[in-house]
Chains A and B, each alone.
Chain A
Amino acid sequence: MGALNMKTQMLRLALFAGLALAVLAPLSAGPADAAKATAKRVKVTGEVIDTWCYVTEIMYALGTAHHQCAVWCAVGGIPVSVLGKDGKVYVVLKIEDEESAVATPRILKVQSHEVTVDGDLYVRDGVNYLIVTQVADDKGVVNMTHEEYGIQPFGK
């Protein structure tokens, strides 16, 4: 009788533990899973920019005038973004199958270029994060701003 009670209690405990796990597991998966569901496929056309200089407006930060500084900042590990034609800033986290979007030769190569990219967009706490799945077009540097703004920030 005692052994039967113990077996019953253990079964109840196991059942309770199983139920608890089933209920709690989705909660403990965390924000990654919650955010994952919000990814949206997008196509963005715009200029590749240095996020810091453009967002803070610390200097003029577009086109040929800012190209050299954009390369400096990209090598320094500051996130690179695409300034969409819609005026929004899209922070690039990855490009196609490359492991890194930090100071890679490819990242340096496209600074100030006008590109069209396909990707997964995650909007989180006011920031547009973009995982680029395909660079569909790259027109090179087309925003000729140096005649008006010179070379930012120090000149030659």
Chain B
Amino acid sequence: MKRTSIFAGIALAGLVGFAATANAAEEWGLDGEKIARFDAKVVDIACELSGDCPANCGGGKRHLGLLMADGKLILPVKNQDIFAGVINDLLPFCGKTVTADGLMISSKHMPLFAMQFKRPEGGKWARADWFGKEWSKANGGQKPGQWFKADKRILSAIKKDGVYGIPGLKPPKDE
């Protein structure tokens, strides 16, 4: 029940946007969350760890991290768009320092970061919702609010393997 409420809250935030006043993170009601704002360099995580470093942090093909001055590597996994991550938000700043604002989440499984806003050094604050913006551009200007229900890659995957991931296994009609 709690999970449903929390998810509904985040989904709503993703769909209608947070209050316009905010350039500061808001709580999402997740266990172990803590509002955090910090400066860090945008890095290609695989490059940072293994030394395999394509140009421009992989150009969107690599997961990106936030490397703090003390060497701590933060894993940002979520932005403000529903069901989306931070690659579009951070890629333009590859190798540069940004101020990230969001929720540091300490879970029993692992730590991670949900980014709500970012500001490049000397630049302006922007919402971390550039996945949706890019998706919209790539999809003829469709509104990104429910992008996951219109995305061709998703529709194709679900058509092929079904909602359960097993071809031919279908949900009962009342579900």
Chain A residues close to B by CB (< 8 Å) = 31-33, 35-36, 39, 51-52, 54-60, 64-65, 67-69, 71-73, 75-79, 89, 91, 93-94, 99-103, 105, 108-109, 111-113, 120, 122, 124-129, 131, 140-141, 146, 150-151, 153, 155-156
| CB 8 Å contact bits of B143-175 with A (1 = contact, 0 = none) | 000011001011001100101111001010001
Task: Name the 3 nearest CB pairs between A and B, nearest first.
Answer: A100-B61, A76-B84, A67-B165
Nearest-neighbour CB distance to chain A for B142, whole angstroms, equals 15
A54 to B107, CA, bound (A): 10
B15 within 8 A of A: no
CB pair B171 A146 closer than 8 Å: yes
Could you list which residues of chain B lie within 8 angstroms of chain A, going by C-beta atoms? 3-4, 6-7, 10-11, 30-31, 45-54, 58, 60-63, 67, 71-75, 77-78, 81, 83-88, 105, 107, 109-112, 114, 131, 147-148, 151, 153-154, 157-158, 161, 163-166, 169, 171, 175
B54 to chain A: which residues have CB within 8 Å? 99
Complex CA–CA separation, A109 to B156 (angstroms): 11
Interchain CB contact under 8 A, B175 and A102 = no
User: How far is the CB of A84 from the nearest CB of chain B, in Å?
Assistant: 11
A58 and B49 contacting across the interface, CB-CB below 8 Å: no
Residue of A nearest to B160 (CB): A109
Set B3, B51, B52: member contacting A57, Cβ < 8 A: B3
Jot down 20 A-B pairs with beta carbons below 8 A, ordered by A. Answer: A32-B49, A32-B50, A35-B49, A54-B109, A55-B109, A56-B105, A67-B164, A69-B83, A71-B154, A73-B85, A76-B148, A78-B85, A91-B63, A93-B49, A93-B63, A101-B62, A124-B73, A129-B46, A131-B46, A153-B7
The 8 Å CB contact of B50, one of A36, A72, A75, is A36
Using CB atoms, name the residue of chain B closest to A113: B165
How many pairs of residues, A versus B, come closer than 8 Å at their CB atoms? 178
Q: Is the interface of A mostly helix, strand, loop or mixed?
A: mixed
Pairwise interchain contact B50-A64, C-beta atoms closer than 8 A = no
- A106: shortest Cβ distance to chain B, in Å? 11
Residue of A nearest to B89 (CB): A77
In the bound assembly, the distance between CA atoms of A71 and B73 in angstroms comes to 26
Contact of B110 among A55, A108, A140 (CB under 8 A): A55
Query: Are B112 and A120 in contact (CB-based, < 8 A)?
Result: no
User: Which residues of the other chain, A, contact B61 by a CB distance below 8 angstroms?
Assistant: 99-102
Nearest Cβ distance between residue A21 and chain B, in whole angstroms? Answer: 20
